[in-house]
A and B are shown apart, each in its own frame.
Chain A
């Protein structure tokens, strides 16, 4: 059974500092990995999707890396801003899971202080 872990559960940084968010998964037979952002009381916003064959994916200040063999992904957010404050979730889909079912980590709650 796939298990996804995100450490730390919460993170507080001053504005301008780079953010590093970690995600680990137990079964390396993934199809893809997706990073989401969730604001309080809101739905999930997709940030980046990394296919299992990719090593990294970039979008603006966001960069996500994937090391499938070691079961890890890292989301980097450069030059953090107060607007980056949110909960960040990673999720993996299994290579043989019908319907592209996602297994989620518990999330990292980020606070960027002005």
Chain B
């Protein structure tokens, strides 16, 4: 069966520090991968998606970036965090475009 992992589970970082969140999927190959952010009062917002290794599409302008160095690994990064980057970050995968999406357990990021 397929599983999706995210780490760390929680993170507290100072403003201006770098960020690296990791997401990995097991039990499938060539999945579509997604990064979402859930911020208080703003609902779930798609940040990035990837249909293959090295293929990243950005949905909103921001100081975050994403990379997909391996087929089942998706990384969310920032060089300098802002207060507004605080939120709950969720990774998701699907078999292909149009199929059901499955979410990971999330990472709670607090920027102080």
Q: Which residues of A contact B (CB under 8 A)?
A: 31-32, 34, 36, 41-46, 49, 89, 91, 93, 98-107
User: Total interface residues on B, using CB and 8 Å?
Assistant: 27
Asked if residues A44 and B98 are in contact (CB atoms below 8 Å), the reply is: no
If over half of B's interface residues share one DSSP class (helix, strand or loop), that class is named, otherwise mixed; here it is strand
10 cross-chain CB contacts under 8 A: A42-B105, A49-B99, A98-B97, A99-B50, A99-B57, A99-B97, A100-B99, A101-B34, A102-B44, A105-B43
Q: Which residue of A lies closest to B97 (CB)?
A: A100
The complex places the Cα of A45 from the Cα of B106 at a distance, in Å, of 12
The complex places the Cα of A102 from the Cα of B101 at a distance, in Å, of 9
Q: Is B49 an interface residue (CB 8 A)?
A: yes
Chain A min CB distance to B111 (Å)? 18
